[in-house]
Amino acid sequence: MDVDLLRLVARGDPAALRALVSRHLPRVLRMAERLTGNPSDAEEIAQETMIRLWRVARTWKPEGARFDTWLYRVTVNLCIDRQRKRPMESLDGVAEMASSEKGAFAAVHGGQMNTLVRQLLECLPEKQRIALVLSYYEELTSREVAEIMETTPGAVLGLLFRGRQALKGMLTAAGVEGWDSEPET
Amino acid sequence: MNQKPEDDADILGVFGADPKRWPPDRRAATEQRLRDDLRARRAWAEAARLDAVLDGYGLADDPARLAAVGEAILAEIAGMEDADDWALGPIGWPQGLGVASAVGLLTAALLVFGLPMATGTEAGLHDMLASTLWLGTY
């Protein structure tokens, strides 16, 4: 389907381009927003990704990488470039946010939870963050994540394990109350 | 907890508490371990709490935003299409080759038809360029 649309895009078919963009934009945008933590950066990255899609259509070789793997790899690489130009997020922001969450953790969907988790993800090492976003949020398999990250599925499992461990450590260190207590059933 | 994510003991530490996320070939063994092992159940509860934190970062697709970003992308590309030679691609103007052949033929034309150029007649120059571009296209 994607490859058929790409062929049409290569012939200058605007409807095919529109179909490809509408098919992949939601995930690309979501992925970029979680990886950069910034909605407007995510929109620019999504735009650049789609422009690259359009440019590659003329030379796309179906026997190469899967189209969606290629597309998500471009998205991830653009996010990495963008993140490397920005200053590192510190844990101070998480602690500050956590203190305002104290006592409210049980209501996980509280207003500031998005911000708290965004900051936690930003504090993770780059590869752990990417693996976690692709695996947990985008529900890609370890093999798919490995292809996007150009590594092995085993390495992805290690990144996921260490990423989750690091998140638990950060939540504890930041004093997010209630996160490590037994859930009420 | 074992630090090797390949082991069943670490499925929870890698994929979290939701069995749907576990590799299908490891699901039964992990569920059995949860029934048999108190430590595994504690690990499951901890994984479930972390999942709840992660699930707090919800990003619902906003149709209006998606439409706006999508239209901006298509407009940007349409602008580029006007600006570069891509639109000529399907007609058969291979970039680079076309420019090279145009330069070569223009040089040859200058040698062969030096008189019209020397006299500076606009019509002669126009004809020459037209024939050069035509040859370059095919």
Question: So what's the pLDDT on residue B128?
Answer: 38
User: Where is average pLDDT lowest: A76-80, A88-92, A99-103, B48-52?
Assistant: A99-103
Q: How many other CB atoms are there within 10 angstroms of residue A57's CB atom?
A: 21
- Chain B residues inside the 8 Å CB shell of A168: 46, 50
CA end-to-end span of chain A, whole Å?
A: 45
For A:78-107, CB contacts with B below 8 A are: none
Average pLDDT score over residue span A121-137: 96
User: For A25, which of B21, B55, B66 is closest by C-beta distance?
Assistant: B66
Average pLDDT score over residue span A170-178: 80
Structure tokens at A165: 């461990």
**DSSP class of A182:** P
Q: With CB atoms and an 8 Å threshold, state whether A21 touches B70.
A: yes
User: For A179, which of B14, B49, B73 is closest by C-beta distance?
Assistant: B49
**Does the pLDDT of residue B93 top 50, yes or no?**
no
Q: List Cβ neighbours of B69 (8 Å cut-off, separation of 6 or more).
A: A25, A29, A43, A46, A47
How far apart are the C-alpha atoms of B98 and B114, rounded to whole Å? 23
Structure tokens at A60: 């796309």
Model confidence band, residue B86 (pLDDT cutoffs 50, 70, 90): very low
Question: So what's the pLDDT on residue A165?
Answer: 95
How far apart are the C-alpha atoms of B129 and B138, rounded to whole Å? 15
Closest Cα to residue A117, out of A106, A133, A131?
A: A133
Question: Where does residue A9 rank: exposed (0-12), middle (13-18), buried (19+ CB within 10 A)?
Answer: buried
Q: With CB atoms and an 8 Å threshold, state whether B73 touches A50.
A: yes
Is B49's Cβ below 8 Å from some Cβ in A?
yes
Structure tokens at A10: 């290569």
Please, what is the average pLDDT of chain A? 85
The position carrying tokens 């891509």 is B86
Question: So what's the pLDDT on residue A68?
Answer: 92
Question: So what's the pLDDT on residue B97?
Answer: 39
Contact A25, B70 (CB under 8 A): yes
**Does the pLDDT of residue B130 top 50, yes or no?**
no
Contact A69, A147 (CB under 8 A): yes
B23 alpha-carbon distance from chain centroid = 29
What percentage of residues in chain A have a pLDDT greater than 90? 62
Predicted TM-score of the model (pTM): 0.74
Question: So what's the pLDDT on residue A94?
Answer: 54
Is B71's Cβ below 8 Å from some Cβ in A?
no
Closest Cα to residue A147, out of A29, A49, A67, A45?
A: A67
Closest Cα to residue A83, out of A30, A48, A45?
A: A45
How far apart are the C-alpha atoms of A8 and A17, rounded to whole Å? 8
Average pLDDT score over residue span B87-106: 38
Residue A31 DSSP SS3: helix
Model confidence band, residue B96 (pLDDT cutoffs 50, 70, 90): very low
Q: What's the pLDDT tens digit per position in A48-85? A: 999 999 999 988 887 778 899 999 999 999 999 998 88
Contact A76, A35 (CB under 8 A): yes
**Does the pLDDT of residue B14 top 80, yes or no?**
yes
The complex scores an ipTM of 0.83
Q: What's the pLDDT tens digit per position in B44-71? A: 999 999 999 999 888 888 899 999 999 9
